[in-house]
Amino acid sequence: MIKLEYNGFHANFNPVGAYLEDLQKDGTSIIRKSSDKNSTHGGAAVLFPFGNRIQNAEYYFNNKQYSLPENDGKNSIHGLVRELAFDSNSGDKFIEFSNHFKSMFYPGEAYIKIKYEITGNLFVTSFYVKSMTSIIPVEIGFHPYFNVHGSYSISYNSRMKKFNYKDVYFPDGSTVDVDYNGKELNKIPLDNCFYLDSTVILKDEKHSIRMVRKNMPYLVLYNGQYAGNDSIAVEPMTGIPDVYHNHVGLVTLEKNAEFVCSYSIEVI
């Protein structure tokens, strides 16, 4: 376990998966721990090189077929780095995890770096990736579970588009406008992907949290079984579920090309 403490923030990390286990601000729990040690049931898992489900655990890229681990029925979910050991480097206000990523399930190699940094009242999480050997497909996501107290809602200042699903898990690429501004989300079952290129404020009966995303215009909201009655996962994403098939939000990087994305949270 690695700790980062500064300006009222207290964060615990596991270098396996570059995983933020929990986060507190001024003694208040903001991101909660997993209750069963599964990194996508609590904390804030790092998801790369795909964020959500890939149908049938296979995909084609650059005219070649690749198989993925079947870890969600016949599908693959939540990327390939959650069990990966990362190198770490830290200072008073930051911790950085890095890895030269390569996998039999993936077309090329990449240098990846996840940085957690406290800047004033902001807790910032960023992801840097550089393609090392060939063109690669990239989707990046984070899976933070935010503690909530009583009823909770979100607010934002742009159009929110909900993706339509062809079945339970896989979007068909089309969207419908929705308005969740100020709605009590605790009364709405959520496991959906949205396009929302806006600051998001999560408000409950005790506090509010502002989330600002860069190069991550998609968002998954989840308050199902693993969230329980006292948390919601607000998941920044660069793409949508099944991105290797529908290509919505897919980033392709030529050799030596780089991509950076991030999100920040602030208790307000």
Per-residue pLDDT of the chain (268 residues; tens, 9 = 90+): 899 999 999 999 999 999 999 999 999 999 999 999 999 999 999 999 999 999 999 999 999 999 999 999 999 999 999 999 999 999 999 999 999 999 999 999 999 999 999 999 999 999 999 999 999 999 999 999 999 999 999 999 999 999 999 888 999 999 999 999 999 999 999 999 999 999 999 999 999 999 999 999 999 999 999 999 999 999 999 999 999 999 999 999 999 999 999 999 999 9
> 247 phi and psi, to 5 degrees?
65, 15
What does the pLDDT read at residue 168? 86
CA dihedral 79, 82, 88, 91 (to 10 degrees): 90
State whether residue 17 is helix, strand or coil: coil
CA atoms of 123 and 229, how far apart (whole Å): 25
Residue 11 has what pLDDT?
A: 98
What pLDDT is recorded for position 154? 98
Q: How far is CA 234 from CA 28, 37, 204, 246, in A?
A: 18, 19, 14, 22
Three-state DSSP class for residue 243: helix
Q: What's the pLDDT score for residue 66?
A: 98
pLDDT the model gives residue 1 = 86
Supply 172's token pair.
Answer: 């068909």
The owner of tokens 């979100």 is 154
Quick one: DSSP state of residue 246?
H
